[in-house]
Structure 1
């Protein structure tokens, strides 16, 4: 039997404090890394969706994931993200940098989104899935 669905993440609901600040940032980022825009508040790879919800009651000190890492299809995509971040004065944590201790050829840039959430874009050609 051919399965339509396989185990994985279906979607991520991402809370943001201000759509006017965050949505243009994510639109530019997702255009570089190849996510398709579904509407003004949602994007998809075809197998996972991320959508944004503007909330005024979110606390930045709540427990949860440390960061989200988006897969890049090449080192050039990571470099393009880096240049996008620099052009938009986004605070970069590290990179672009190779982190061969993760896997051979692992190439990454880590940065903060407009609300201070940690994001990563990495090219991982030899990572075992």
Structure 2
């Protein structure tokens, strides 16, 4: 039985105050909207916060890290997530997201350019306020 794709990604953040506005703006640029925001997140202690976004064919969420884990920080080459890529509809969309992330003060890891993974692969890499590496990539059909 084949998967239809990735249903959603849930990211744990250590700085809720910086992450919330960052992800609200990222979601806006990606065409996603907040769906659920609350304390007492499912599967968590009563004080945990979660913010879930829904877009056209994708979902993602941010979850507040447990207090005792907040000092650990994100590391690209630790066990777990290295980075996550959202799929862009065009090269222009990649450039527009790059501009929005620069205006937000995001750490741009690699400005938009072509990569030789496959012909036409065009992407920007950036970090959220927690250091989580994100990508917005266009791949022609």
Q: TM-score, normalised by structure 2?
A: 0.75
**What is the count of residue pairs matched by the alignment?**
121
Q: How does 1:22-41 map to 2 (within 5 A)?
A: 22-40=19-37, 41=51
Deviations 1:29-49 (A, max 9, x none): 121122232133111235442
RMSD, aligned CA:
2.0
Provide the C-alpha distance between the structure 2 equivalents of 1:47 and 1:97, rounded to a whole number of angstroms. 25
Provide the C-alpha distance between the structure 2 equivalents of 1:8 and 1:88, rounded to a whole number of angstroms. 30
Provide the C-alpha distance between the structure 2 equivalents of 1:107 and 1:31, rounded to a whole number of angstroms. 21
Matched, 1:82 2:98: yes
Q: TM-score, normalised by structure 1?
A: 0.81
Q: Which runs of 5+ in 1 are unaligned?
A: 1-5
Matched, 1:44 2:44: no
Provide the C-alpha distance between the structure 2 equivalents of 1:37 and 1:11, rounded to a whole number of angstroms. 14
Structure 2 residue aligned with 1:64: 80
Provide the C-alpha distance between the structure 1 equivalents of 2:58 and 2:105, rounded to a whole number of angstroms. 28
Contact 1:32-1:77 within 8 A present in 2 as well: no
Report the CA distance between 1:95 and its aligned residue.
1.6
